Amino acid sequence: MPPPPSHPSTPSKKNIGLFFFIDAFGWEVYQRNRFFLADRVKEARKLETILGYSSACDPSIISGLLPSEHRMWSAFYYSPQTCPYRWLRFLRFLPDALFNRGRVRYWMSQWIKRLHGFTGYFMIYSVPFRLLPYFDYSEKRSIWHEGLLLGKTIFNRLDEQNRPYYVHSSGTSDLQRFTELRAKLDDGAIDFAYISLGRLDALMHRVGNSGPEVSDLLRWYDEQIRATIASAERQYEQVSWYVFTDHGMHNTIGSHDLIADVERLGLDYGRDYVAFYDATMGRFWTLTDRARTALTGLLANHPQGRLVPDDELKRLGVYFEDRMYGDLIFLMNSGIPIVPSFMGSKRIPGLHGFHPQDADSYASMLSNRHLPDSLKRINQIYSLMEAETQDTATSGNKGNT
Ligand SMILES: [Zn+2]
């Protein structure tokens, strides 16, 4: 049979969906910077975030599942039997001062990561060295390039369909990512793109959630995103774009030493209980009745935060029947971090991970498309990505411009 006639002079243009993830570009940050893509946005929506950190939000966005379903919530969980770096216990006799240096922690993290072949984001933060052997780490594999513990990501699905797409690689700057993506778009080489951008989150942790530096950086993102959309519009029939995030940013207004409160109870860490102190949450595994009674007494009446009850954890999508992430979950009052915590030894001006229903916690979604009414929480961004990839696979007419 002869091959079908080709028409090199009229290449059939494809559609594309561009997903720009700006870490911590929350609804309130957007409200203070409404110049952002102002003439291009067709619809903007405030979205509820997920209690926790990027370690919970990113997997939810790319899979559509909640943490209770994909089982990735905080980075560290109590599991001394499966802890891959249990050998660190042999280092517990070395002085704490050695391990408390930032550079030593950074290089130790890199070393552990390479030694164990972790491909995900791995950092030991400020977890005391002698306590590391109690904890396993949820993001040992790259969620972007390999997938989750449970459930498929949008990238797993595109791989199964042999569809070409762009997703950022770790260890590259925001500018490198924009440059790489525009090169792919100029070649018309992809059907879909997801680009994660980290500079705004890093800046606001340092300076807080408003001010000239924040607006200047958003102006830079505005230019980069416009240039990227323009590249796509030259090569593709229809371009749908979405600018979104996982959570907002609070300014901190104080801090509290929760670790000292717990230590005053006189319980034995490792025998009575195990605790992990995230920046805004204390998570406790109670190993004895004595510890459960004492910790509940302390935390149930604590002025700087509250124990989150099971029915609320369920509603928030972060309830785990097997108590993988702790059987007492204590959330700090908004704006008051735990300092020192296992994530850092000093108070920083900007922080996220407080209650999802605080104004400063809400995420945002902006698009040149109408957004479905059902879109309310960040894990539902997944359905938009799925719809975009189905559209580009089937026909050239979306009818929703
Ligand atoms: Zn952050």
DSSP string, 69-112: HH---SSEEE-TTT-TTGGGGGGTTS-HHHHTSHHHHHHHHHHH
3-state secondary structure of 388: helix
Identify residues whose C-beta is under 5 A from ligand 1, the ion. 201
Where are the domains positioned within the chain? Answer: 16-67+143-251+357-394, 76-137, 255-347
Cα 196 to ligand 1 centroid, rounded to whole Å: 13
Pick the range with the lowest mean pLDDT from 10-14, 176-180, 249-253.
Answer: 10-14
Residues above pLDDT 70, as percent of the chain: 90
> Is the per-residue pLDDT at 170 higher than 80?
yes
Structure tokens at 47: 């979205």
> Is the per-residue pLDDT at 324 higher than 50?
yes
**CA 154, 157, 163, 169 torsion-angle sign:** positive
> Is the per-residue pLDDT at 206 higher than 50?
yes
Per the DSSP assignment, residues forming a β-bridge with 108 are none
Mean pLDDT of 17-29: 98
Cα 342 to ligand 1 centroid, rounded to whole Å: 15
> Is the per-residue pLDDT at 83 higher than 90?
no
Cα 46 to ligand 1 centroid, rounded to whole Å: 19
Cα 249 to ligand 1 centroid, rounded to whole Å: 8
Cα 198 to ligand 1 centroid, rounded to whole Å: 8
Q: Which CATH architecture has domain 16-67+143-251+357-394?
A: 3-Layer(aba) Sandwich (3.40)
Residues above pLDDT 90, as percent of the chain: 73
Cis peptide before 128 (omega within 30 of 0): no
Cα 204 to ligand 1 centroid, rounded to whole Å: 8
Q: Which residues contact 321 (CB under 8 A, 6 or more apart)?
A: none
Mean pLDDT of 122-149: 82
The whole-angstrom separation of Cα 191 and Cα 154 is 13
> Is the per-residue pLDDT at 399 higher than 80?
no
Comparing 369 with 123, which gets the higher pLDDT? 369
Q: Which residues contact 3 (CB under 8 A, 6 or more apart)?
A: none
> Is the per-residue pLDDT at 87 higher than 60?
yes
CA 106, chain centre distance (Å) = 20
Mean pLDDT of 54-78: 94
CATH: 1.10.540.10, 1.20.1050.140, 3.40.50.300, 3.30.1360.180. Which one for 255-347?
Answer: 3.30.1360.180
What's at 371, amino acid-wise? L
Cα 206 to ligand 1 centroid, rounded to whole Å: 10
Cα 5 to ligand 1 centroid, rounded to whole Å: 53
- In this predicted structure, what is the pLDDT of residue 241? 98
- In this predicted structure, what is the pLDDT of residue 400? 38
3-state secondary structure of 137: strand
- In this predicted structure, what is the pLDDT of residue 153? 96
Model pTM? 0.89
Cα 200 to ligand 1 centroid, rounded to whole Å: 9
Mean pLDDT of 24-42: 98
The whole-angstrom separation of Cα 163 and Cα 193 is 11
Using CA atoms, how far residue 326 sits from 10, 71, 77, 78, in Å, is 60, 13, 8, 8
Mean pLDDT of 295-309: 97
Name which of 135, 134, 160, 155 is nearest 145 in CA terms.
Answer: 155
Name which of 397, 395, 396, 392 is nearest 158 in CA terms.
Answer: 392
Pick the range with the lowest mean pLDDT from 139-153, 173-187, 221-235, 298-312.
Answer: 139-153
Cα 278 to ligand 1 centroid, rounded to whole Å: 13
260-290, pLDDT tens digit by residue?
999 999 999 999 999 999 999 999 999 999 9
Cα 390 to ligand 1 centroid, rounded to whole Å: 32
> Is the per-residue pLDDT at 222 higher than 50?
yes
- In this predicted structure, what is the pLDDT of residue 289? 98
| Mean pLDDT score across all residues of the chain | 90
The answer to whether 16-67+143-251+357-394 and 255-347 have equal CATH topology is no
3-state secondary structure of 322: coil
- In this predicted structure, what is the pLDDT of residue 81? 84
- Between helix 212-235 and helix 174-186 the angle, nearest 10°, is 10
The whole-angstrom separation of Cα 360 and Cα 354 is 9
> Is the per-residue pLDDT at 401 higher than 50?
no
The whole-angstrom separation of Cα 195 and Cα 183 is 13
Cα 74 to ligand 1 centroid, rounded to whole Å: 13
Q: Give the number of other Cβ atoms within 10 Å of residue 87's Cβ.
A: 11
Cα 181 to ligand 1 centroid, rounded to whole Å: 23
Cα 399 to ligand 1 centroid, rounded to whole Å: 37
**CA 93, 94, 96, 99 torsion-angle sign:** negative
Comparing 8 with 110, which gets the higher pLDDT? 110
- In this predicted structure, what is the pLDDT of residue 391? 56
3-state secondary structure of 215: helix
Cα 153 to ligand 1 centroid, rounded to whole Å: 22
> Is the per-residue pLDDT at 119 higher than 60?
yes
Per the DSSP assignment, residues forming a β-bridge with 276 are 283
Cα 35 to ligand 1 centroid, rounded to whole Å: 23
Cα 147 to ligand 1 centroid, rounded to whole Å: 21
Using CA atoms, how far residue 277 sits from 13, 75, 82, 142, 281, in Å, is 52, 11, 20, 24, 6
Q: Give the number of other Cβ atoms within 10 Å of residue 32's Cβ.
A: 13
Using CA atoms, how far residue 339 sits from 43, 76, 189, 209, in Å, is 39, 18, 48, 20
The whole-angstrom separation of Cα 295 and Cα 311 is 20
Cα 248 to ligand 1 centroid, rounded to whole Å: 9
- In this predicted structure, what is the pLDDT of residue 395? 42
